[in-house]
Amino acid sequence: MDQTHGHVEPIPGGWRLPGIANLHSHAFQRAMAGLAERQTHPEDSFWTWRETMYAMAARFDPDSLHAVASQLYVEMLEAGYTSVCEFHYLHHAPDGSPYEDRAAMSQAIIAAAREAGIRLTLLPVLYMAGGFDGRALGERQRRFGHDVDGYLRLFSELHALQDGMLRVGCALHSLRAVPQDAMQAVVRSLPGDARIHVHIAEQIGEVQDCLAVRDARPVEWLLDHADVDHRWTLVHATHLTDAEVAGIARSGATVAICPTTEANLGDGLFPLRKYLDAGGAWGIGSDSHISVSPVEELRWLEYGQRLDSRHRNIAVREGSQSVGDTLLHDVVASAGAATGFEGTGDCVVLDALAPQLAGATGSDVVDRWIFSGNRNLVRDVEVGGEVVVGNGLHHDREAIAARYRGVMETLLPGL
């Protein structure tokens, strides 16, 4: 199976294709999916949604994080994700005090990934300021925070744990949360294999604040002040000028697009057609996990472009007429640079006996997988040589789900 080019291979009773990398995840937010859909302000936005997120974040400890992340990772595997980049910022106790084991929350994420059997790129987050003006972290943000030395100690401890199923990279939360000197000091200190992810240009308000304080747009500023290359993943990058689109593509960085979360939060639409024309690399993430489905992310990436342009079949690369083939090709091609896992051989098998795939051929099976409905067509999933999903079910789904239900009973009351 040629992963680099997204090759799809017919096998008895199925179609085998490369596993999908989920480039952006906040695992704890799976516990609040569907709980922020009540209007709290006449102009509800990302910033009002964040209040609910902070309230949920304050309830987690290592045990509850492990239970929620395990359940999430089972759902990812059953949907066809075989690796996940965990953008992890719940470092300390809710009052901001460190746990006795300062890596306890990170260890909970690692344990969850190992239990589920998904490849993990753990991205401990550097979070230092409450805004572009450098204000101190608010009370509800204190559990996220580190100074540079503390962050690098945590990173070093976690990086030493790397193995065939674990990579450790760096997440800069955002330009508003990481001062310039801290960003540059941390990036200089990273080993050469470390991937670097950053939230950027997600919201118009963020762009306006960056312009006001730094006299440049976020992506413009980053490209001018950091050696952005293939190791970098820019998360969202929704609000871009044409020059920024070209600059990201030229740099070799990957953009992590999260269509269902960006729609849920009212962020806006990524300029996909311009970015494809510039030759840019991109992948998908499920971010806040209001959906855990690569099919839905890819479908709504394309549908958003259709609604915006009032045309059809937007995501097509030169040399192909198939939207599905382009989408699959691009997410497979970007996975190694964004996750740090190269040439894994991890794969997904679609169920050729599903009615939605009746009569499918190699030229249309990916389009039919993405655009034929909402039934999950993933039959089997193999990661690291192990079959972790068979006949559509994770091998340990019941025990992990039972633990998750018990933890949810403690997390939700009074939210």
For the beta carbon of residue 41, count every other beta carbon within 10 angstroms. 9
Helix extents (H) in 286-396:
294-309, 323-339, 365-371
> What b/e sequence results for 294-326 when a residue is b if at least 16 CB atoms lie within 10 Å of its CB, and e otherwise?
bbbbbbbbbbbbeeeeeeeebbbbeeeebbbbb
The sign of the dihedral angle between the CA atoms of 114, 397, 65, 349 is: positive
∠ CA 147-239-258, nearest 5°, is: 75
Question: Kind of pairing, strands 166-168 and 170-172?
Answer: unpaired
Task: Determine contact, residues 69/113, Cβ cutoff 8 Å.
Answer: yes
Please say whether the dihedral angle defined by the alpha carbons of residues 63, 69, 74 and 77, taken in this order, is positive or negative.
negative
What are φ and ψ of residue 259, in 5° steps? -60, -40
Residue 78, SS3 per DSSP: helix
Contact predicate 277/313, CB 8 Å = no
Alpha carbon distance 242, 274 (integer Å)? 8
Catalytic option among 239, 267, 287, 346 = 287
Residue 139 DSSP code: G
Residues forming a β-bridge with 394: 389
- Residue 10 is given by DSSP the state E
d(CA 285, CA 261): 9
Q: Is residue 123 a contact partner of residue 171, using CB atoms and an 8 Å limit?
A: yes
Catalytic residue among 88, 236, 329, 394, which?
236
236 is catalytic: yes
Count of CB atoms within 10 A of residue 44's CB? Answer: 15
CB 53 within 8 A of CB 89: no
DSSP character string of 290-305: S---HHHHHHHHHHHH
Which residues are known to be catalytic?
236, 287
